[in-house]
Structure 1
Amino acid sequence: MYSKFLNLDSEKQNRIINAAIKEFAQKGYSNASTNEIVKEAGISKGLLFHYFQNKKQLFLFLFDSCVELISDDFYKKIDLTETDFFQRIRQSVLIKMELLAQYPDLFKFVEKAYMDDAADIQAEMQKKIRELNHINIGKIYEGIDVSKFRDDIDIQKIFKIITWTFEKLSDEELYKAKLLPNYEIDYQKVQKEAEEYFEILIKCFYK
């Protein structure tokens, strides 16, 4: 589908990608202008639509590309031989902080994409987010030492409670960012709050 674009030299690809990420991250899907993207990238509008059929296809391509880059780096850094569940989750939070510092523009775009409720992309985005959550939860929970958890509670229910806790923590921040246009997610604060939840959940569910 994207073979024409992927056959471009990397410098031209990066110019188009960076221009599009900047525009979508600042304005969201509906308000983003392909005119601004081509102006920033230094190409014609006809050429952009030669590589991508429309704005929607460009947006979804960018989302997949950003998520793939961040995920690849994340799984290169995380130690999946660590079998303690909470140590692994702590690792995940710290690595995300590192990646945020490394790829601030990519994270801003992905955050915006997660919050975007434009009708044109909503169904595809919801499907992609569900699939990503399923894949990542499966990987993060794989090989965990469940013997550390209490025997009197169903382990699957424990995992669901923990997952819902951190999903809600994330959702609250995304909701604030959506509600307040100039709101910036303070990841250090989120990390500190997550640590407080770790302590409570360890007391609740470990032997």
Structure 2
Amino acid sequence: MPTKLYDKEQILNDCLAVFARHGYEKTSTVMLAEAAGISRALIFHHFKSKKELYLSLLDRYFEKGSIEMNFNNMLEQGDFFEVKEKISTVKFNYYKENPELYKVVMEAFYNTPEGLKKEIERRYGEFIDKRDNVLEQLFEKVPLREGVDREQAFKLIKLTLDYFENKYLADLVEDENLNEAYFESFIEERNRFFDMIRYGIQK
């Protein structure tokens, strides 16, 4: 691997921990340079600004995450609920191995720094829309009872998914060492919610 490319990747690895610990707003270029063990001038040789470095971390996440989660072949992986479970398993393992990256991603998309909102929406909005469109296509195959509005049903499921995404984030903040037992319990609880949506709650 060329030295220049290696140095850039190493800078990203070193700076990830700083962004994860302090957040984008409270992280300075001085802190980033100290973490990477290089001068600010060398950081700016590879990245024009703190903003570009932060966005480069997100770019790398989307590139690697897409491969890990196999988004491009999602429609061929089973029905809607099976695919969501597979994605959750991959995401859990991916974030468990990369907890600092998870914190940066959650900040970027759930507590977006003011100065990054437009850029993040422009840069990643298309990918997120594509992912949601694929999930909607999968959901189109789910048979619904007569009288159930498909769009509203999908929104209900997304609300449920958002709840569990936020729950996972809160649990990870409290304990970075979430284990397999936690994940099994987490998925079981989420699937019980899905079952209530799929099969109803009234006797």
Q: TM-score, normalised on structure 2?
A: 0.78
Q: Alpha carbons of 1:137 and 1:115: their partners in 2 closer, same or farther (altered >3 Å)?
A: closer
1:34-183 aligned within 5 A:
34-75=29-70, 80-128=75-123, 130-144=125-139, 146=141, 148-171=143-166, 173-174=168-169, 176=170, 183=174
Please tell me whether residue 196 in structure 1 is matched to residue 187 in structure 2: no
Offset of residue 128 of structure 1: 4.9
> Which shows bigger deviation, 16-25 or 124-133?
124-133
Long gaps (5+) in structure 2: none
Deviation per residue, 1:115-137 (Å, 9 max, x gap):
44432223333555644432211
Q: TM-score, normalised on structure 1?
A: 0.77
How many pairs align?
Answer: 195
Asked whether the 8 Å contact 1:28–1:113 carries over to 2, the reply is no
Q: Match of 2:28?
A: 33
* CA distance in 1: counterparts of 2:153 and 2:193, whole angstroms: 14
> Which shows bigger deviation, 190-199 or 85-94?
190-199
Q: Alpha carbons of 1:161 and 1:128: their partners in 2 closer, same or farther (altered >3 Å)?
A: farther
Identity across matched positions, percent = 24
Asked whether the 8 Å contact 1:28–1:116 carries over to 2, the reply is no
Deviation per residue, 1:141-183 (Å, 9 max, x gap):
3355625322322322222221222123324555x47xxx953
Asked whether the 8 Å contact 2:33–2:43 carries over to 1, the reply is yes
Q: Match of 1:4?
A: none
* CA distance in 1: counterparts of 2:189 and 2:121, whole angstroms: 27
What is the identity, as a one-letter code, of the residue corresponding to 1:194?
R
Offset of residue 39 of structure 1: 2.5
Across the aligned residues of Structure 1 and Structure 2, the Cα RMSD in angstroms comes to: 3.1
* CA distance in 2: counterparts of 1:107 and 1:25, whole angstroms: 8
Secondary structure of the structure 2 residue equivalent to 1:148: coil
What is the identity, as a one-letter code, of the residue corresponding to 2:148?
I
* CA distance in 2: counterparts of 1:71 and 1:116, whole angstroms: 22
* CA distance in 2: counterparts of 1:127 and 1:201, whole angstroms: 33
Q: Alpha carbons of 1:173 and 1:132: their partners in 2 closer, same or farther (altered >3 Å)?
A: farther
Asked whether the 8 Å contact 1:22–1:105 carries over to 2, the reply is yes
What is the identity, as a one-letter code, of the residue corresponding to 2:80?
F
